[in-house]
């Protein structure tokens, strides 16, 4: 079971499940930034104002466990890690774009 996975016998609407996955400090901003392009940890750290390394790392790990983002090790010199949206995360981008049209 992932960090915020809902037990199969629980009755919860999809919107509640989504809000649960994106709740928590920094997650909405991480998600927004990840929609733009693959990013390194250091880029998130510079872009998410006020986030500590530990809190950012925790949020990224939880989002990875919830299958919203994917961590990829790039074996170049220097070795680095990039975070991208998964297909599940990409599907949510269209949901947010539809919500933007409501306001």
CATH number where 77 lies: 1.10.10.10
What's the domain count of the chain? 1
47-101: pLDDT as tens digits: 999 999 999 999 999 999 999 999 999 998 888 999 999 999 998 888 777 777 7
pLDDT in tens, 9-59: 456 677 787 778 888 889 989 999 999 899 999 999 999 999 999 999 999
> Does the predicted model carry a pTM greater than 0.85?
no
Residue 6 lies in a domain: no
Asked if residue 4 belongs to a domain, the reply is no
Q: What is the DSSP string of 5-67?
A: PPPTTS---HHHHHHHHH-STTHHHHHHHHTTS-EEHHHHHHHSTT--HHHHHHHHHHHHHTT
Q: Which domain covers residue 56, as residue numbers? A: 14-100
C-alpha 11/C-alpha 94 separation (Å) is: 24
Q: Is 64 inside any structural domain?
A: yes
Cα(55)–Cα(10) distance, integer angstroms: 29
Q: What distance in Å separates the CA atoms of residue 47 and residue 37, rounded to the nearest whole number? A: 13
* Inside any domain, residue 81: yes
């Amino acid at each position: 079971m992932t960090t915020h996975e809902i037990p199969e016998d629980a009755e919860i609407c999809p919107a509640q499940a989504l809000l649960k996955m994106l709740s928590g400090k920094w997650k909405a901003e991480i998600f927004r930034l990840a929609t733009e392009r693959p990013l390194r940890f250091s880029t998130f750290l510079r872009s998410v104002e006020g986030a500590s390394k530990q809190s950012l790392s925790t949020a990224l790990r939880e989002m990875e466990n919830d299958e919203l983002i994917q961590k990829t090790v790039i074996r170049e010199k220097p070795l680095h890690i990039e975070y991208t949206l998964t297909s599940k995360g990409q599907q949510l981008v269209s949901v947010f774009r539809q919500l933007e049209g409501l306001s």
